[in-house]
Amino acid sequence: MNSKIFGILFGNFINDKNKPFNEKKLDNCFKEITLIGRKKGMDIVIAKTAWYNNQKFIKAWIYNKRWKIIKDVYPNLILNKYDYTKKTKKFRDIIHKEIGFLNHPNMEVMSVDKFFLHKKFPHYSPKTLLAHNRKQLIESIKKIKTKKYVIKPRYGWAGIGIKFFDKDNIPKKVKKDTIVQEFVDASDGIKSMNIKGNHDFRVLVINGKIKETYVRQPKKDSLLSNVAQGGKLIRKKVEDIPGDVVKIVKEVDNEFKEYKSRLYTIDFMFRKGKPLLIEMNSSPSLYLSTKKFYKDMISAMQRGLR
């Protein structure tokens, strides 16, 4: 093995036998990442949280022509790919103290919190409020001017739990930490990038620099553009990103500059030509990215090593 080991830590859906991933797109993605890492002098291993104990993985997957499990692996740095919840925070803090994450846990807390971004940058955001019960939801809806509104979990991913309502339609039950947001009519598209119709526009950022970008568009009769929900992905060139988006990304990244290394995405929607912040994600779906992005990510891993 190489002298530097980088771990990618998942939840407990990782397999114990044959290969780590059942899905072909994930299998191909992480094969590619491990091969690029090896060319750069790093061994990249895949593990799940149950395999971490006292500064090491008791076992982990490694790829070299085929997947195999190796034992007693001591990673130098870890990229977190398991879900953030209040329950996992303590465990995450322990790992960061013992080894270190590419993304600092404090940064992950901020980026996974869908309310943080809107509270910090209200001038770039659609009207966004927080409700913990039905009474608060009703009060929030009164403050929203659009005919429709959106609710979604404060801590969510992959478009799960996002729902659209007319203002006269109010759910009977509301969970704690529910985001209530005005509906963004993005049907005009992004004219400067030749995008027609509903969309969201994602930029992938490494250490303050935009390294990749793409547009996601919902399938017919849907408003959810997440690829996991059937959305279509259209790749775009970084140099074609509108200047007002670049300006907003710089302002957002300034919030995280104290952290040595950082990897995250920001999603926008355009309303009448104006970009609006929708959400951040510190654990993007890497299988949607390109080989060039993997190389940039691994370079960031190398810089982030303690």
Return the pLDDT at 103: 83
* Residues 59, 46, 207, 92, CA torsion sign: negative
Return the pLDDT at 159: 67
Return the pLDDT at 44: 95
Per CATH, domain 109-119+185-298 is 3.40.250.10: no
Return the pLDDT at 226: 62
Query: Which CATH class name applies to 4-102?
Result: alpha beta
Distance CA 155, CA 230 (A): 21
Structure-token pair, residue 245: 């988006």
Distance CA 51, CA 45 (A): 12
State the pTM of this model: 0.88
Return the pLDDT at 1: 64
Average pLDDT along the chain, 306 residues, taken 10 residues at a time: 85 91 94 93 94 94 95 93 78 89 83 86 93 94 92 78 89 91 90 87 93 86 60 88 94 88 90 91 87 90 70
Distance CA 88, CA 150 (A): 27
Return the pLDDT at 274: 93
Return the pLDDT at 90: 83
Structure-token pair, residue 204: 């992938």
Query: Which CATH class name applies to 127-182?
Result: alpha beta
Residues forming a β-bridge with 130? 179
* Structural domain spans, the chain: 4-102, 109-119+185-298, 127-182
